[in-house]
Amino acid sequence: MVTVFGIRHHGPGSSKSLMKALEELAPDCILIEGPPDANDIIHHVQNEELIPPSAILIYNPKDFTQVVYYPFAAFSPEWIAMCYGYEQGINTEFMDLPQSMQFGMANAQLEDKQIDLALISEQEGKDKQHINDPFGYIANLAGYTDSERWWEVYFERSEGNTQTFSTILELMSALREQAPQESSHTLMREAFMRKTIRAKIKKGATNIAIVCGAWHAPVLHHYKSFKASTDNAILKGIKKVKTKATWIPWTYHRLATSSGYGAGVISPAWYELLYNDRNEVTIRWMTKVAHLFRQKDLDASSAHIIEAVRLAETLATIRSLSIAGINELYEAAVTIFSGGYDSQMDLIENELIIGDKVGQVPEEIPMIPLQEDLMKQIKSTRLTQYWNKAEPIWLKASDKFPKGKIDLRIDADLKKSHLLHRLNLLGINWGTLHILKKSSNRSSGNQHESWELHWRPELLIRIIEVGMWGNTVEIAAINFVHTQMSTIHKLPDLTKLIKEAVLADLSAIIPKLSKCFQDLAAVTTDIIHLIDALPELIKLIRYGSVRKANIELIQIEIDKILPRICIGLPNVCMAFNDDASKEMLDRILSTNYFINILNKKEHNQFWIDSLLKITTYKNINAIIRGGCIRILFDKNELTIAQTAKEMSLNLSLGNELAQAANWLEGFLEGSGLLLIHHQKLWNILDEWVKGLSMDGFKLLLPLLRRTFSSFPAPEREQLLRLVKSRELTEQEKRINISYSERRGEKAISTAQLLLGIR
C-alpha cells in the first residue's frame, strides 16, 4: 500500500496533520521529497545536538558553483517525518531526483523536453488562463488575493487532521487535470520518485508513506498509471557527477520569503508559535511584542497585551477565520501598542515576524579539514560565542566601548586579529574591520581594532570552496596569497596583498611577496604606481612591531623605491590640468606624511631636493608648486622671508588670476594657521585681495571660498577675528582715543580674577 501525504513545505498545520497520519498508518517505509544524495546523513536527526533550523548542504566538490541547500525548521513536515521514522526504526529515505543527476544535467545542457505550449490555440489559452497559476486561481475563488494566505487559512492553522490529505489530493488532482504540460525538469523529478516507489515495493515494502509537496501528490498516488518504461525513458542518458552532503546551521531569516527563498514562509517566528501552541498563540505573540517593546524602552503593559489580543480575535471573527493570522496580529499590535503608526513596530519587526533563531550542528557531523581547523581556531581564540549568531555583534563590546575594541598588544587579542584577517583574505567575511577614528589617506594605524562579526550560512559554502587551498586556515591563506601573487601586474595591488599578508601574520609568504615586489618594481616605470604603493609599505614598517611582524624585507624595498620616486616626481608633475594636479598634490602630501613617519635622514634629503626642484618648474601647475612651498616651509627648509617672497611673486597682480588662486589653494591646503601666526604672509594675501578689481574678485570668490571653507571651524573663527582686529587697528590710526591709565589699572585685578589668572 502506498499512501501519499501532500504537504506545504515548512507548514506547521501540515506537520501536525502528518504526525497524526503517520501514527495511524504505522508505515514500514517513509519516502520524503528530498535529495537521495543525503540519505547517508539523515540519521543525524537522532542527535539532540542537531537543532533546527538547519539545512542539508549538497555540493559538487569539483565545481563549487553547483551547490544547493535543503533547509528545515522544527515545524517542517519533512523534519517531522525524518524524526518520526528514526524514532520508530522505520526505513526513511529521500526520493527526489538526485542532485548528482541535476548537476549532470546542468553540465550537459540537456535538450529541454517540455511540450511546446505555443501549440495551444489562442482561444484555448484564453479559456484556461487560470491554470498557469492554479493555487492563485483557487485562492481568488475563495476571496483571497494571494495563494499563500489562502493555503495558510485552510490548511496550516488547524490543530491537525488526517482527512486534510485526502482533500488536498482531490484538489490537486482536479487542478493537474486542467494544468498545462509540466517542464521537463518536473517530469524527470516525478519519474524518479515513481521509480523509487517501485524499487521499495520490489524490496519488500508493503506500507509506504510518501511525504511530498502537494502538487506532486496526484502523480505519485496514481504511480501505477505511469509505465515504468516511460519513466525510465525520461531519465535515460542523464549523466551523474559526484556530490557530497553535510548538515549546516540555518537561520529563520534565510527561511523567510523575504530572503528570496522560493519555498519560504512569510513569518517563521509566527509559524513556530503556531506549531508549538495553537490555542494560546495569540497571547504568546502579543506577549512577545510587549517584551520586545520594553527592550527598546517603549511603553508596553499587560493592558496593551489584553486589548491587542481582543482586537486580533475580533478581526479574525469579522473575517470568518478560525484563528487570528499574522496579518490580524500585526494590525492589532500596530493599533494598540503603536497608536496606529508603523514606525515603532518597524524597530522590532525583524525579531517579531522573521525571528532571530539560528540552528546548531554537532561537531561529530563530517566536516572538511579546513572547517575542522577553523572550529579549533575559533575555540582557541575564544570566539565561539560569536559563531552561529544571526545578528551582527561587536567583538568585545562593553558599556565603555559599545562598538568593541581589541588591543593588539595583548597576545589573545592579537590572535583574534590574525584569524579574522586570514578569513577575510580567503573571502570568509565573518568579521568587518571598522576604523576607530575618522581618517583620510594620510591616517595611520594604531594599537587597537574594532570588529563587527556577522555569521551567515553562506560562510560555510565559502569555507568548503577555499578548502582546496589547504587543510588549515593558515596554509590555505598562504596558498591563496601565493596564487594571487602570480596574477598581479600593478604595484599598488601587490602592496595591498602584502599588507593583508602581514595583517594575517603569514610570515612564511613574506619573502616571496618581497621578491615579487622587487621584480615588479624594477620594471615599473610609472612613478605614480610607486607613489601609490609607498604609504601601505610605510604603515607596515611603522606598525609592524605592534603586530610582531617581520618587516625587514619591506624596509629594504622602501629604501630602493623612494629615491626613484624623488628623482622622477618633478617630471611626472608637468602638464597636469587642474583636476589632475589636485589629485597629484594629495599624493605628494600623503607621501610627505609617511616620509615624516619614517624620519630617515637620507630619505628626507631626497624628498626635500625633489620638492625644491618642483617649485622652480614654471610649467608645473600652480596648485602643486604652492603645496610644495607649504611643505618646505613647514619643514623649516624655507624661512618666513623666502616664503613671503614666493607668495608675493605668485600673488602679484601681473599673474593670471586663476593661477594665483590655484597657488594659494595649494599653499593653504588643509590649514590656514600660518596666516594667523605670520603677519607678513597675511599682509601679502590682504594686499593681493585689496588690489583685485571688482570683476576679478567676483571671478575668484568661489575659488577663495572653496579654499577657506576646507579649514577647521576654529581656524576660520580666528581668521575672522584677525580681519576684525585689522579693521579696528585702521580705525585707531584715524581716531585718537584718549584713556586714563589710572582708571584702567583699577579694573586689572577684576579682569585677572575673571580670566582665572589669579
| pLDDT, tens only, 354-385 | 887 888 888 888 788 888 899 999 999 999 99
- Residue 675 in grid coordinates: 596666516
Q: pLDDT grade, residue 730 (50/70/90)?
A: very low
477-521 pLDDT tens trace: 999 999 998 888 888 888 889 889 988 989 888 888 888 888 888
What is the model's pLDDT at position 681?
74
- Three-state secondary structure call for residue 636: coil
Give me the phi and psi of 736, to 5 degrees please. -90, 105
What is the pLDDT at residue 273? Answer: 86
| 487 Cβ contact partners less than 8 Å away, ≥ 6 residues apart | none
Amino acid at position 612, single letter:
L
Beta pairing partners, 251 = 358
Residues with Cβ within 8 Å of residue 16, at least 6 apart in sequence: 158, 159, 160, 275, 278
Q: Residue 515 CA to chain centroid, in angstroms?
A: 34
Cβ atoms of 697 and 689 closer than 8 Å: yes
Q: Which residues contact 194 (CB under 8 A, 6 or more apart)?
A: 219, 220, 223, 226, 228, 231
For residue 63, list its beta bridge partners: 60
* More confident: 296 or 123: 296
Among 383, 326, 386, smallest CA distance to 358 is for 386
Alpha-carbon distance of 668 to 688, in angstroms, equals 15
Residues 357 and 339: their CA atoms lie apart, in Å, by 29
Question: Strand pairing partners for 213?
Answer: 7
Please check whether residue 50 is in contact with residue 114, taking contact to mean a CB–CB distance below 8 angstroms.
no
How far is Cα 75 from Cα 276, in angstroms, rounded to an integer? 8
Site of grid cell 535538450? 111
| Three-class HEC string of 51-86 | ECCEEEEEEECCEEEEEEEEEECCCCHHHHHHHHHH
pLDDT: which is higher, 258 or 632: 632
For the chain, what's the residue count? Answer: 758
Report, as an integer, the average pLDDT of 575-591: 86
Instruction: Please state the rounded mean pLDDT for residues 67-78.
Output: 91
Mean per-residue pLDDT over the chain, rounded: 82
| Of 190, 199, 201, the residue nearest 231 (C-alpha) | 190
If one counts every other C-beta atom within 10 angstroms of the C-beta of residue 11, the result is 24
* Predicted pLDDT at 111: 41
C-alpha angle 333/335/341, rounded to 5°?
A: 100
Q: How would residue 174 be classed by pLDDT, with cut points 50, 70 and 90?
A: confident
Segment 529-554 shows an average pLDDT of 72
Residue 112, pLDDT above cutoff 70: no
Q: In the beta sheet, which residues pair with residue 6?
A: 212
DSSP for 330-398? Answer: HHHHHHHHSTT-SHHHHHHHIIIII---B-B--TTS---HHHHHHHHHHHHTT-GGGTT-SS-EETT--
Residue 465 has pLDDT above 70, yes or no: yes
CB 53 within 8 A of CB 355: no
Provide the 3-class DSSP secondary structure of residue 575. Answer: coil
Q: What is the pTM of this model?
A: 0.66
Domain boundaries, the chain: 2-116+162-259, 279-354, 369-473, 530-734
Specify the range with the lowest mean pLDDT, choosing from 255-259, 434-438, 629-633: 434-438
Cell numbers representing residue 82 in the block? 525524518
Q: What is the mean pLDDT of residues 431-437?
A: 81
Closest residue by Cα to residue 184 from 243, 233, 140: 233
> Ranked by mean pLDDT, which of 204-208, 348-352, 706-710 comes out on top?
204-208
Cell matching residue 482: 601565493
Cα 365 from Cα 50, distance rounded (Å): 9
CA distance 699 to 702: 7
Residues with Cβ within 8 Å of residue 264, at least 6 apart in sequence: 10, 255, 256, 257, 258
Other beta carbons less than 10 A from residue 139's beta carbon: 20
Q: Do residues 120 and 180 touch, judged by C-beta distance below 8 A?
A: yes
Rounded to whole angstroms, the Cα distance separating 87 from 23 reads 12
CA-to-CA dists, residue 631 to 584, 624, 643, angstroms: 14, 11, 11
Q: Are 477 and 422 in contact (CB under 8 A)?
A: yes
Query: Is the confidence at residue 604, as pLDDT, over 60?
Result: yes
CB atoms within 10 A of CB 201: 15
CA 202, 206, 95, 234 dihedral sign is: positive
- Strand, coil or helix: 212: strand
Distance CA 376, CA 383 (A): 10
- Interior angle at CA 161, CA 265 and CA 262, nearest 5: 15
User: Looking at the predicted structure, is the pLDDT value of residue 168 above 70?
Assistant: yes
| Peptide bond preceding 53 in cis form (omega within 30 of 0) | yes
Give the three-state DSSP class for 163: coil
Average pLDDT over residues 691-695: 76
CA-to-CA distance for 64 and 57, rounded, in angstroms?
A: 12
How is residue 600 written as a grid cell? 630617515
Bridge partners (DSSP) of residue 208 are 2, 29
Q: How far apart are CA 305 and CA 443, in angstroms?
A: 53
| Whole-number pLDDT of residue 129 | 40
Q: What is the CA 64 to chain-centroid distance, rounded?
A: 21
